[in-house]
Structures are given as structure tokens and as C-alpha cells.
Structure 1
Amino acid sequence: MRTDRPGYQCRANKDGSTVHYWSPKRAVKGAPSALSTIRLGDGLTEEQIAAECQRLTAELRDELVKLGSPPTYDCTIASLVACYRHDKTSSLHSVKHSTRIRDYEPSLRILVADVGARRIDALRSSDFKKWFAGWKKKGHRRASGAIKLLRVVISYGAGERLIGCAQARDILSDMRFEQPAPRTVAMTYEQCFAIVAKSIEMECPSIGFVEALKFETALRRIDVIGEWAPVPGGGSFRWSGLMAKDISKDMILTLKTSKTGAPVSRDLSTYPLVAAALQAYRIPDIGPVVIDEDSGKPYWENRYTEKFKKVRNAAGVSSTVWSMDSRAGAVSETIEATGSLDAARDLATHTTTTMTRRYARGDGLEASRKVALARVESRPKTAQ
């Protein structure tokens, strides 16, 4: 029995791959039963799995020692992050679980690892500039995310009247950092069709069904595959998302989007890509609509991403095309076909056309041609 990866558990998928977990109850004797098992990332090496299990176990032991007592603020960034994590009134505990795991936690770990020892009451604008430049070398989005969370935790500290935070917040509020360039890639109909076809060939038609549904309806991925999240107050993860009952017998899909709560109705029988995907994928009679063929359960987001990449690559679609780009493809195609930004906004359930423009790809040439033709057709014939 290996002792270098405390709390380790695993489960084999039907495709031969292995899912790795860390169980707090197995790692530390006497750990609270309400603590959730954590799924480790896919593709980790044996050494990385051991390191992650050791890190999580060490953190748990440290938390158990301090159980019941809040972290002590000593003016360092690391102590501020600890207070921010511990305080149930902080914004960390009000965002969606997927947002916390995907956006907040990675940036908080960067702050603690890279600048955690720095005293907040001694910071200058030059420090923030140097940090951003250093993070940017490892990725512009990484740098932007770290600065964004630094603003969040320092604002939290200022609100709690912690020493140095108000002054640091004032310095940061006057600073502007270069934003990463917006994505310019949109999935095309041809690319989506290729992914649908290849997913059927690879016997994982759920991938093609999800991408077809997103491309045709402009729904977000989380609204299609759902989300696994811990139960409030502790306990195992539970899934919530699109259910079979949300699609009627005549193929009318109705739901409220997870981001804004906007009501959505879509007639799936009118979408050719969805029809192509449903030649191989069967919507269950009850329960979640999208099921991972390997596990027989709804997808975890990282598992879906990895599987999508395999299908996309096998389909000969460029690696620059991401799953999220099917939504941009839906918006772009709508604008080109109708010449209407409002129509694209309604399809994507955006509250403003400003957001819709961010999803629109291309130079607008085709849309401008349609508008020009429509204007000519509307003019009196004698004036042409």
C-alpha cells in the first residue's frame, strides 16, 4: 500500500481511463464526515497525484488545528487571503461553485504562492506593476485573473477595516492594466458538423449532441451539461442541470439560464445539427439529458473538456477552436444571416447588445451586405 498519497481513491471508466480522487476522511483520521471528496485533475502524473494528495492533506491538518478560530491577519497578502476564504460573508462564498473553482481559486493560489509574504501596508504602485509584468510572462489571462482577485481581496480587507487595505485599494483603483485580447475564434457550421460526425464515429455521441445544441441555440455549456457542486453546509457533490422533463414530446426545450435566469424556449425539431446528432444520441426518458457514456452519469466540466478535445482533434478541427466557441459561432452566424444585432442578442439571452458584440466574430462584411441590399429594396423604384 502506498503511503505517499494520503486519502487517494480512484475509479476506472469504461474507456479504460482512471478518475482520481482525494478523500479527506481517508487522509486524516477523525476528519468531519461533512467534508467532500475532491476530484483531482485529469492527466496528472503519479508524482503530481502524490504531491496534490500531500498538499490537500497538509492543508486539512492545518485547518483542523485552527478549527473554530478565524485566521489571524498579520498584514501579509497570505493572511488576507486566508481571512477572505474563511469569512462566510466574503464574495468567495456567494459566487457559483463552478466560478469559484475555475476563476477564483486558481488566482488566489497564485497570490499566496507568488506574493503571499508581502506586507499590504508597504505596497506601492510599482509593486503591482512588477507583479503583473511577471504574471503576464506566463500568460496574459493568468495575469489579469490574478490582478482581478487581488483587487477583490484587498477591497474585502478595506471593508473589514484591516490595516493597510484601504490605502492599497486606493492605489489599485487608480491603476489600469492591459486587458488580454478578446477571442476572435468562432466555431463554424462546418466545424460543428464535423465534430458531430466524428463523435458518432468514436462512439461518444453525447459530445456531438452538446456542441450541436449549443451551436444551434446559443446556450451556455453549463445550461446543457449541468453542474456538479457541493451541497450547502457540506456533504457530497450533487448535480443540477437540464432534465428530460425540460424537453417536451414535440421537442420544445424550455429552461431558465443559469447565469441570468432568463427564460428560454427552443424548438429542437428545427435545428439540422441537433437532428444529425440525435441519429446516434438518445435523450433519456427521465433524469439528466446529457450523460457521459463512460461513467453513465452527467459530465464533470473538466471531463467534458478533455473528451471534447479528443473528438475535435480527430475531426480535423483546429485546436484554436474551443467548446465555448460554439456560442460565438451561433451569435456570428445569426448576425450574418439576419443583419440584426437584436436578433443575436435575443438568441444569446444577453441583456444588452454590448455583450452580444463581444461574441460576434468576423468583420461584419456579410451582415453589411444584407443591410445594404435591404435598404436598396426599400427605396422607391424611380429613385434607384
Structure 2
Amino acid sequence: MRFRDSLWDDSEPAYAPFLKYLKDRNSYLWRPSKKYLEAGYSIKTYKLGGSKGDGLDLERAAHCRALTREMLEWFDGEAIGRKAGTWGWLIGRYLSDEFSSFHDVLPQTQEKYRQMLGYIEQAIGNVLIEETDFERIMRWKKAMHDKGRSTHYVKKWFTHWRLIVSHGIKVGVDHCAKVKAIREEVRIQNPARRSRYATREQIEAIVAEADRMGRPHLALAILMRFEFILRGVDVHGQWVKDDTRQGGVRDGGQIWVDGVTWDMFDQHVTSFTKVISKTRKSLTEPYTFSLKYTPEIRQRLLLIPTDQRTGPVITMANGKPPKNGVLSRGFKEALRAVNKARAKAELDPFPDDLQIRDTRSGGITEAKSLVDPTTLQHAAQHTQGTTTAIYTRDRSGAANNVIQVRAKRG
């Protein structure tokens, strides 16, 4: 929001920023915009009193200007309770500034950013940016190692902190450019890549156990992730903070997004068409996934009564999509049951660290030796391989080719 000069010099007596009129109550209040509330400003609303036609409009306008000036002074000097020029203050700026890169990422990514930046703010929020040098950065790194933080955590911490440094440079915060130069000379070890993946044998056993547990939604989600090489969010969706978007499934201040819905399927449930959530900005064209080579998935879908084929496909007994983490926990529970049965049968157990996210990597690994790299890239909905992407148009065809080849092998 751009404020008029009269905010500061009172040259427009009727200028009343953030003034709200409640028609049903015939009363006035001052309410900051979302930007300042999300930055942590404590005054959510301020009752101004009076009613329409009482002749006090100029007094209320002056009061609004005074409240707005007070808020802006806080925002510039004490964002999220931190002194201006500290890392906590800059984190507040990053999360709330209108043109921050924070607003360019998907809602689910924003939630992850908020969580990690919360850890960073807690650790270094009171540290002045201008007092950040090589020695202090190394002490941060050492402190995390001394506390037993994993290599993955340390890398993630510094990656997110770099976003804050970058934003500081963009908005002209002194010393941030120097901090960036120092950070680039500090070696942060990359965590080892996860090598675990689910095999078809493991998937089949866990799906069968999910059925025995009376959790067909879990079985269907696992199969769709594995066979179509889809990320979990593109199958069963996720719950994010309700940002007042119209429509959709809502529950407890959250809205469900990104998953497969029944309106994506054709009339006879032989295929579904979907834009991939992670790459929707760079790969805007939808993928069409054929069910021709996955008869088990199609059969499971057809078992769902016609009158229930609205909204999200993967739903719980209450008719709503599973909350975040529910399917992951269900997968682990099914895995433990499978391994218990295998132990009784004197069979080697499956890896106990297997996770539901390993279903997608399992599908990719199975296909790796069966198709060429470019076909696999498109089937996996990856954006890398820009040269081949220029000449490739049928990404859906590539995806279905991979599914067909794997089906024949299975």
C-alpha cells in the first residue's frame, strides 16, 4: 500500500488510512492490512467510536493517521519485536514486504519457510546484521554441530538464511552484501542423498496390508504415487492456511489444495488430466494419465459409488481428504504390520526406514533401466533437461509410455 504524504504532514485532514466502516453495526474501526498483521503487529483492530453522520469524520481521520504512523514506525524499527537492523527484523521484512520472493512460492512451501525461519529467528533474531562477520557465522555453524544437528538441518538452515540475506540486499540493508560475500566462502556440507526407494514387491505387500487394515484410501494413494510417479501433493493434496480463496474444501481455518479431484477424470474413468503443482508456473500444460495400463487403480476407482464421485478422490471415512501426515503415518503402520508378518514367516524384513515418499522414487528407479533419460524426465514431471524440453511436446505421452513399459515388465 502506498501512503500519501499527508500521512505525515496532515495536509489532507480527511485522509484516513485503514479506516473501516461496519455497516451492520453503524460503527468505525481502524484495521491494519494483512502485511503488518503477519509481521506480528499487536493491534489487530482499534475501535474509533461514533457513527455515520455524527460529524466526527475529521477527528477519526486524524486518529487513523496517528495509528498508522505508529504502526509504520514499529514496522521499520521493531518488526516481530526485534530492533531495527537485526536478523529478526529482516526476517519480518522478508515475510511481509510486498515484493518479497516469499510471496512467489506455493502456499505449502511458504509454510515450510515460516517454520525454518522461525528456528533461525529464535537463534539469531537479536543479532545485529552489521555485527555479523566470518567468526560469528562459523560460531553459528559450530553451535548446530555441537547440538547434534544433522547435516541436512545445517544445510537447510543456511539455505533459508541466504534468502534473508538476499532480501536485505534487494531492499538496501547495509552490510548484507558483505555478509553474502562471506557466506559464499563458508563451506556448508551437502547432506547425503537419500538412496532408499520402494520396490514393487514392497508396494504390493504394503497395499495389501492397507486393505486388510480397512484403509482403501491409503492403498489407492500409494498405488497412484508409485504407478504414475506422482508426488504425494498431486495425489492426495494437502491442507494449507485458508487465504480466503473462493470454493474448495475447508476445515478448521485450512483449505485443501493440489490433489486429484473427480472432475479431472473422463466420463468412463479411463484417464485423468492434471497440472502438476510443483511446476505449474514453468510447465503450464496439463498431463493426461491413462488408466489403461493400471487396471488395479481403475478398478479401485470404479468401486467408489457414482454419487460419491465429487471433489477429492482420496478421502477418509468422514468424506474429507486426509490431514497432512495422516497417510505417512498410515504407511509406517502398514509397514510395521508387514514386517511383523514376514518375521513370523521367517522372511527378511523390508527396510524399517521406508517412507511413503519412497513410493515415487521407487517408480522412477523401476523405470530408469527401461526408458531413455528424456522420457523418464518428462514422466517424472521434472523441469531439468532444458535442451530436450525445447523439442519435446508430448509430456503426457512420455508419462504413459513409462507406465506401459513398467506394466509389461510387472
Specify if TM > 0.5.
yes
Separation of aligned partners in 2, 1:112 and 1:188: 41
1:169 to 1:63, Cα distance in 2 relative to 1, 3 A: farther
Q: Which has the higher contact order (CA 8 A, sep 6+)?
A: 1
Aligned length: 299
Shift of 1:281: 6.4
The answer to whether 1:319 aligns with 2:338 is: no
Tell me if structure 1 keeps the 8 A contact 2:270–2:298: no
1:183 to 1:282, Cα distance in 2 relative to 1, 3 A: farther
Unaligned runs of 5+ in 2: 1-28, 46-66, 78-82, 247-252, 340-349, 387-410
The answer to whether 1:286 aligns with 2:310 is: yes
Q: Secondary structure at the match of 1:196?
A: helix
Residues 308-346 of structure 1: CA deviation (Å, up to 9, x unaligned): 32223223243321111111111110012x152223212
The aligned residue for residue 88 of structure 1 is: 98
The aligned residue for residue 155 of structure 1 is: 166
Tell me if structure 1 keeps the 8 A contact 2:269–2:298: no
The answer to whether 1:270 aligns with 2:279 is: no
The answer to whether 1:237 aligns with 2:254 is: yes
Aligned partner of 1:79: which letter?
Answer: W
Where do residues 65-144 of structure 1 align in structure 2 (5 Å cutoff)? 68-69=71-72, 70-72=75-77, 74-102=84-112, 104-136=113-145, 137-144=148-155
1:165 to 1:331, Cα distance in 2 relative to 1, 3 A: same
Separation of aligned partners in 1, 2:305 and 2:109: 30
Separation of aligned partners in 2, 1:327 and 1:88: 36
1:328 to 1:282, Cα distance in 2 relative to 1, 3 A: farther
Separation of aligned partners in 1, 2:205 and 2:371: 26
The CA RMSD over aligned residues, in Å, is: 3.1
Residues 177-201 of structure 1: CA deviation (Å, up to 9, x unaligned): 1111111011111111112111111
Instruction: Provide the identity percentage.
Output: 22
Is 129-138 or 280-289 further displaced after alignment?
A: 280-289
Q: Secondary structure at the match of 2:278?
A: coil
Separation of aligned partners in 2, 1:131 and 1:82: 20
The aligned residue for residue 340 of structure 1 is: 372
Aligned partner of 1:342: which letter?
Answer: T
Residues 257-276 of structure 1: CA deviation (Å, up to 9, x unaligned): 01113421222231255357
Where do residues 1-384 of structure 1 align in structure 2 (5 Å cutoff)? 62=42, 64=44, 68-69=71-72, 70-72=75-77, 74-102=84-112, 104-136=113-145, 137-232=148-243, 236-241=253-258, 242-248=260-266, 249-261=268-280, 262=283, 263-271=286-294, 274=297, 284-293=308-317, 295-316=318-339, 317-336=350-369, 338-352=370-384
Shift of 1:175: 3.0
Shift of 1:94: 2.2
Separation of aligned partners in 1, 2:201 and 2:262: 28
Aligned partner of 1:237: which letter?
Answer: Q
Aligned partner of 1:118: which letter?
Answer: V
Shift of 1:227: 2.7
Tell me if structure 1 keeps the 8 A contact 2:269–2:302: no
Q: Secondary structure at the match of 1:253?
A: strand
Separation of aligned partners in 2, 1:290 and 1:31: 43
1:154 to 1:331, Cα distance in 2 relative to 1, 3 A: same
Q: TM-score, normalised by structure 1?
A: 0.69
Shift of 1:144: 1.1
Is 181-190 or 121-130 further displaced after alignment?
A: 121-130
Shift of 1:206: 0.8
Separation of aligned partners in 1, 2:43 and 2:134: 33
Separation of aligned partners in 1, 2:385 and 2:226: 19
Shift of 1:170: 2.0
Q: Secondary structure at the match of 1:315?
A: helix
Q: Secondary structure at the match of 2:292?
A: helix
1:129 to 1:273, Cα distance in 2 relative to 1, 3 A: farther
Residues 104-161 of structure 1: CA deviation (Å, up to 9, x unaligned): 1222111111122222111122322332233242222211111011110011011111
Tell me if structure 2 keeps the 8 A contact 1:209–1:281: no
Unaligned runs of 5+ in 1: 1-29, 36-58, 355-384
The aligned residue for residue 50 of structure 2 is: none
Q: Secondary structure at the match of 1:225?
A: coil
Aligned partner of 1:173: which letter?
Answer: E
